[in-house]
Amino acid sequence: MDSDLFSRRRAERFAQLLDEANGGRRHHVRSRADDELTALVAVSRRLTADRPDVEVDTEYRTGLRAMLVATAEREGVTAPARTGVRGSLLPAVTGRRARARGAILVGVAAGAIALSGISAASENAVPGDALYGMKRSTERAQLALASSDISRGQLFLDFARTRLDEAATVRDDRLGFSAVLDDMDADTRQGVRLLTTVAAQRSDPAALDAVDTFLGGQRRAVSGLLDRSDHADRDRTRRSLALLDAAGRRADALREAIACGLPAPAASDALGPAPTTCPGDR
């Protein structure tokens, strides 16, 4: 499956959804990418409505503009219309594709500038802060823009680290503390599942290195939350530690399965492929 957000079909569908969101004609079609693209459209509308008062670095703007101009020239967005017999056979299709590419470029420009400002304004927001929802929307946009499952997996693990920092900040709020750990565990599962799946499909343990690095630091940091006086909070923290231990065992088992040449496991769960034991270990 094509994982590039800006492939032609996904670009054209994204342009349609943007047009519909702004009151344009509805297109009675759906694609498998609609859920992901619809979330990105929602983020773009929210960015427009809630633009933060943050100044973007001039050098960043200049570099972004140069990149977009080069992309527009390469994609032919600014090229003049062709004439002649062949040109007459390319009526609305070429125009739609050009508009789709143009919409994507405009969207990327606005989104990149807005996201840079929002990241600066909301990166330290915690649950209950006014900008926390925008912070999470920015994370969803990052996931939508990721070019591969490895990139998405690494992003989810980064978000799990962020949730851990938030948990330490709201630790005096029992409900808030538990809710943030729930989100942290969900991000951990998503990230580990994506990376273990890539490792199994490619029979290459390289993707597991990111899992191992994450687990090493995350275990130490989560263990630091066990000093809470409340028994229920300690139990909740231990559940997160148990998940990290399970993720570590899964990564180790996959490394062994890949090393002994086992095929990609057919069974899978929340942490990704569940390998069988190598023949020599039975």
Task: For residue range 56-97, list pLDDT tens digits in order.
Answer: 556 555 665 665 565 555 555 444 444 444 444 445 545 555
Same-domain status, 42 and 79 = yes
Of the pLDDT bands very low, low, confident and very high (cuts 50, 70, 90), residue 181 is very high
Determine the pLDDT at residue 98: 56
Q: 10 Å Cβ neighbour count for 211?
A: 29
42 and 71 in a single domain? The answer is yes
Res. 7: pLDDT tops 60: no
Give the domain extent around 221. Answer: 149-282
Last residue in a domain, options 94, 125, 147: 147
Residue 115 belongs to some domain of the structure: yes
**What does the mean pLDDT of the chain come to?**
77
User: In b/e form, how buried is each residue of 130-146, taking b as 16+ CB within 10 angstroms?
Assistant: ebeebbbbbbebbbbbb
Residue 268 within a domain: yes
Same domain for 129 and 1: yes
- The reported pLDDT for the residue numbered 278 is 80
Q: What does the pLDDT average to over 164-178?
A: 87
67 and 164, same domain (yes or no): no
For residue 11, pLDDT over 70 is answered with no
Number of domains the chain contains: 2
**Residue 159: pLDDT above 50?**
yes
Confidence bin at 144 (pLDDT 50/70/90): confident
Is residue 93, in this structure, part of any structural domain at all? yes
Q: Is residue 138 part of a domain?
A: no
Co-location of 167 and 127 in the same domain: no
Instruction: Give per-residue pLDDT as tens, 15-42.
Output: 777 777 766 666 666 666 677 677 777 7
Based on the fold, state whether residues 12 and 71 are members of the same structural domain: yes
120 in the same domain as 46: yes
Are 10 and 47 found together in one domain? Answer: yes
Instruction: Say which residue the tokens 């559940």 belong to.
Output: 239
Q: What is the model's pLDDT at position 216?
A: 93
